[in-house]
């Protein structure tokens, strides 16, 4: 085993021994192939089966980059104008109002100052934000008995307000769920069929799916939460066979499959002879698409779901179509111009073209970015970058 392999093995094994997570999978790769793949611990706090490299995870927001790629496939083909108003393609979006707070218990709603564009959906600048980091949106949904977008229904998706005028700033949220609806409207296909045909098959992502059924279900990791009383299993998963596949959260997959997607990014839009995007289109995924706006810290209003999200304090962050971008080197870690993001159950990834590194770290627990998960992610990234 290489020195890198030994270091990463030790890092992940130490994390499990320290009870930072019940189980973990890590994969590190470059343009030419996988350099490391390891698994430690067990599949769940109540599942003693050994964690394996081919364990299936709920990807949650790691789905977003796949949904973004789907839209770019249509843009590259000339079928989708990224600067077209969303409502021209999905008319229901034009019914969304901006929530300007509350008068007593009554929400204060108004029409948006401008119509959101497809590009704004894809870069989290449309105003469509999650309730987990926005107290007013959380209150609005709760007061109206409206379900979370995770319910997988059109009513849930359509029930959210906008938190600000389109283009006013960056705000993390459900724009990619709406983007999936745009892809369906333009392509004439359900998003699951589109992704299977246009993305998963060309990239050889045979363990990535919209439903966790059959052989995949036998390898599914357990979901759990770390609480003051210790670890406990939780029933958290995208709903099976939903009315709407939310491209913000709906996928299941493995670390080796996701690393193939990331290696495609490193290789300029192609992998193993299969071209998925032209290099000039891929730049929309690798370069800033939000101008002077910045990706800002996300302050939690639901601590059991997520801690505050501020991964690189003091570093200016931007957003492409698909990823968060760091504009400066992170000492000992990724270089400037790297791309990354994560899923709420602490699945994490980054792509560093300058260093020819792509990596995935898969756990399966809440809260998102809680201290133990960040401690292990930090150690894993430092070990991967040192190697």
- Tens-place pLDDT, residues 117-170: 999 999 999 999 999 999 999 999 999 999 999 999 999 999 999 999 999 999
On whether both 239 and 315 belong to a single domain, the answer is yes
Which range marks the domain in which residue 124 is found? Answer: 76-185
* Candidate list 36, 61, 187, 245, residue with the active-site label: 61
Instruction: Determine, yes or no, domain membership for 41.
Output: yes
Q: How confident is the model at residue 91 (pLDDT cuts 50, 70, 90)?
A: very high
Tell me: do 223 and 360 sit in the same domain. Answer: yes
Q: Looking at the domain assignment, is residue 159 inside a domain?
A: yes
Question: Based on the domain organization, do 8 and 104 belong to the same domain?
Answer: no
d(CA 259, CA 34): 8
Indicate whether 68 belongs to any domain. Answer: no
Residue 360 has pLDDT above 70, yes or no: yes
- Cα separation, 332 vs 383, in Å, equals 9
Selected catalytic residue, list 36, 64, 130, 320? 64
CATH code for position 280: 3.40.710.10
Same domain, 166 and 199: no
Based on the fold, state whether residues 16 and 165 are members of the same structural domain.
Answer: no
5 pLDDT higher than 80? yes
Q: Is 235 exposed, middle or buried (0-12, 13-18, 19+ CB in 10 A)?
A: exposed
Query: Residue 387 — pLDDT band, cuts 50, 70, 90?
Result: confident
User: In this structure, is residue 326 part of a structural domain?
Assistant: yes
> Is the pTM value of this prediction over 0.95?
yes
Is 160 noted as a catalytic residue in this protein?
A: no
Q: In this structure, is residue 253 part of a structural domain?
A: yes
Kindly state whether residues 81 and 149 are assigned to the same domain: yes
Domain match, 145 and 207 both: no
Percent of the chain with pLDDT over 70: 100
Give tens-digit pLDDT for 318-352: 999 999 999 999 999 999 999 999 999 999 999 99
Residue 94 has pLDDT above 90, yes or no: yes
What is the rounded distance in angstroms from the CA atom of residue 113 to the CA atom of residue 219? 48
Task: Output the six-digit token pair for 316.
Answer: 């200016």
Instruction: Give me the pLDDT at residue 2, please.
Output: 80
Known active-site residue 172? yes
71 belongs to a structural domain: no
Residues 41 and 110 grouped into a single domain: no
Pairing mode of beta strands 23-30, 33-44:
antiparallel
**Phi and psi for 268 in degrees, rounded to 5?**
75, 25
Residue 1 has pLDDT above 90, yes or no: no
Both 198 and 280 in one domain: the answer is: yes
Instruction: Give me 167's structure tokens.
Output: 């283009």
Sequence-distant (≥ 6) Cβ neighbours of residue 296 within 8 angstroms: 169, 170
Answer with the one of 168, 185, 202 that is the final residue of a domain: 185
Same domain, 19 and 161: no
Residues 216, 337, single domain; the answer is: yes
Q: What is the pLDDT of residue 296?
A: 98
The tally of domains found in the chain comes to: 2
Rounded Cα distance, 41 and 22, in Å: 6
Q: Answer yes or no: 61 catalytic.
A: yes
- The domain boundary, picked from 140, 167, 185, lies at 185
Q: What is the mean pLDDT of the chain?
A: 98
Q: Directed axis angle between helix 3-17 and helix 371-386, to 10°?
A: 170
- The answer to whether residue 67 sits within a structural domain is no
Q: Are residues 225 and 110 in the same domain?
A: no
Rg (Cα) of the chain, in Å, rounded? 20
Q: Residue 69 falls within a domain, yes or no? A: no
* Catalytic pick among 172, 245, 252, 377: 172
The residue among 185, 212, 245 that closes a domain is 185
CA dihedral 63, 68, 70, 71 (to 10 degrees): 150
């Amino acid at each position: 085993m290489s020195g890198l392999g030994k270091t990463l093995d030790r890092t992940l094994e130490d994390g499990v021994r320290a009870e930072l997570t019940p189980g973990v999978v890590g994969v590190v790769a470059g343009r030419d192939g996988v350099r490391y793949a390891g698994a430690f611990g067990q599949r769940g706090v109540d599942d003693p089966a050994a964690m394996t490299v081919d364990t299936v995870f709920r990807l949650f927001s790691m789905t977003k980059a796949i949904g973004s790629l789907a839209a770019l496939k249509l843009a590259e083909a000339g079928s989708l104008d990224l600067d077209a108003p969303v409502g021209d393609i999905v008319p229901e979006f034009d019914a969304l109002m901006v929530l300007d707070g509350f008068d007593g218990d009554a929400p204060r709603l108004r029409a948006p100052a401008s119509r959101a564009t497809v590009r704004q959906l894809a870069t989290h600048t449309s105003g469509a934000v999650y309730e987990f980091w926005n107290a007013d949106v959380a209150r609005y949904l709760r007061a109206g008995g409206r379900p979370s977008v995770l319910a997988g229904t059109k009513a849930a998706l359509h029930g959210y307000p906008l938190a600000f005028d389109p283009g006013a700033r960056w705000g993390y949220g459900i724009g990619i769920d709406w983007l999936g609806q745009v892809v369906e409207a333009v392509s004439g296909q359900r998003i699951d069929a589109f992704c299977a045909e246009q993305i998963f098959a060309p990239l050889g992502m045979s363990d990535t799916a919209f439903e966790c059924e059959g052989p995949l279900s036998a390898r599914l990791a357990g979901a759990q939460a770390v609480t003051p009383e210790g670890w406990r299993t939780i029933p958290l998963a995208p709903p099976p066979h939903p009315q709407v596949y939310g491209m913000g959260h709906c996928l299941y997959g493995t670390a080796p499959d996701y690393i193939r997607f990331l290696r495609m990014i490193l290789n300029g839009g192609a992998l193993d002879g299969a071209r998925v995007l032209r290099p000039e289109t891929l730049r929309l995924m690798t370069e800033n698409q939000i101008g002077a706006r910045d990706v800002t810290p996300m302050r939690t209003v639901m601590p059991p779901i997520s801690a505050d999200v501020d991964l690189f304090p003091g570093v200016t962050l931007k957003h492409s179509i698909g990823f968060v971008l760091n504009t400066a080197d992170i000492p000992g870690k990724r270089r400037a111009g790297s791309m990354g993001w994560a899923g709420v159950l602490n699945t994490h990834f980054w792509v560093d073209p300058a260093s020819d590194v792509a990596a995935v770290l898969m756990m399966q627990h809440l809260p998102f970015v809680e201290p133990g998960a960040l401690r292990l992610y930090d150690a894993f990234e430092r070990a991967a970058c040192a190697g």
